[in-house]
Structure 1
Amino acid sequence: MKLTQDKLKSMIRMVKMTLDHEIGCDDCYDQLHAFAELELQGKTPEKAMPAVKEHLERCGNCRQEYEALLKALEAVAA
């Protein structure tokens, strides 16, 4: 992969957006079930687990995993 000026600018923007209290994908994945359960119970998981919420807003892969898990849990509950 060639590092173009646009890619470099994008990487710098991403670094600037990094927060001190961020969690990584592994930590997020470990907490997805609890986050989904709170949402299904009508609670506010973003208040109970703000780091997971922030990660899901930034990471498309984890967001897809979460959405799939939520659909599966909703199907089981129905």
Structure 2
Amino acid sequence: MNQPHDPAAGETAVPALNQQNMVDLMHRLEKTMEGSYSCDEAYALLDEYVELVADDEEAKKLMPMVQNHLDMCPDCRDEFEMLLQILKTADAEA
């Protein structure tokens, strides 16, 4: 029986291990680069990366390790997309 997630207890929710989760994990492992960034490392560079993308710079070429992390990490990718939308909205209003 699964126990409910208790953030106060410092527990991390672990998704059920099913076929789709295994496929997702294998895809992420395929994309993993040596020296890949952690979430903290990618997050520290996310503002700069978002600005490059918003300015139509070749962010993937300039910051490939950040792009690699975003390709693998849905949480960081969601944060990136939110920041990009905020920046585009602010630019449109200016």
1:17-69, CA deviations, whole angstroms, 9 ceiling, x for partnerless residues? 44312000001111111011011111110000000000000000000000000
Rounded to whole Å, the distance in 1 between the matches of 2:74 and 2:26 is 17
Gaps of 5+ in 1: none
Q: Percent identity?
A: 30
Considering only aligned residues, what root-mean-square deviation do their CA atoms show, in Å? 2.6
Give yes or no for the alignment of 1:71 onto 2:54.
no
How many aligned residue pairs are there? 75
Calculate the TM-score normalised by the size of structure 2.
Answer: 0.66
Matches within 5 A, 1:26-37: 26-37=40-51
Q: Where do 5+ consecutive residues of structure 2 fail to align?
A: 3-15
Larger Rg: 2
Establish whether residue 22 from structure 1 lines up as the match of residue 36 from structure 2.
Answer: yes
Normalised to the residue count of structure 1, the TM-score between the two structures is 0.78
Q: Which has the higher helix share?
A: 1
